[in-house]
Amino acid sequence: MSVVTERFDSTLVVTIDRYEKRNAIDRNTSEQIESALNELEDDSSLRAGVITGTGGVFCAGSDLKAEIGSNYMPRGGEYGVIRRRRTKPLIAAVEGVAFGGGFEIALACDLIVASREARFALPEATRGTLAASGGMFRAQRALPRNVANELLLTGEALSAERAYAFGFVNELCEPGKALSAAVEFARRIRKASPASIRATLAVRDQVWEHVEAVGWNATEEHLESVRRGPEMAEGIAAFFERRPPHWAD
């Protein structure tokens, strides 16, 4: 199993457990996240969810050795979570790196609790590709515009302290404490009316529905053009060979 679930009262904790791969996600892991979040949505005894990683790492994104597009799931989209319409809050508990798709998972959540040592990055441009799981447009919404541009154009990491100052991270905690802090956050949320929470999430999704549709269409259009060129293959090869990429121009 590459995903482990545990219940704390009416909170479901979903843990990505591929530490040897820095919790990078392949199809099997996506299927298990999909199943876990389906359980959260469909079980009336559950009121909130937390998604986290193991071994002091949140998630390093897609497993680049996996087949392109293989992480798309029926209900949740990419990784079983990115395009999911939820009626229950989902909190990201981030330790260590949340890079690429890991950052995009955090962007898909409602709240973020992070260790002071956590780092967020969208390194896709340095690998000749795009942040294709919502990062291209959700980062612009969650962060100041120029900060989002900085992350998307340089691929460099954003510290948890800086992310908290921008309001992207809801709560900072000491290393090793993100999960317990997120479970406590969920306990606070559970004091609210379930009907009110469902309505709140529904209104939020409806407000952003048009923006999301435009963002997905634009991302898919330009991702296809990137995939047809030579730089994506070079960027990924350079990543695995631990060397700087050699771009054509």
Q: Which residues are catalytic?
A: 104, 124
DSSP track, 161-227: HHHHHTTSSSEEE-TT-HHHHHHHHHHHHTTS-HHHHHHHHHHHHHHHHHHHHHHHHHHHHHHHHHH
Helix (H) or strand (E) holding 2: none
Q: How far is Cα 40 from Cα 7, in angstroms, rounded to an integer? A: 10
Cβ neighbours, 10 Å, residue 56 = 15
Contact between 88 and 107 under an 8 Å Cβ cutoff? The reply is no
Q: How far is Cα 18 from Cα 204, in angstroms, rounded to an integer? A: 32
Contact between 115 and 161 under an 8 Å Cβ cutoff? The reply is no
Mention every residue, 6+ apart, whose C-beta is less than 8 A from residue 188: none
Q: What does the CA dihedral 143, 144, 146, 149 come to, rounded to 10 degrees?
A: 20
Token digits of residue 85: 């319409």
φ and ψ at 105, to 5 degrees? -65, -45
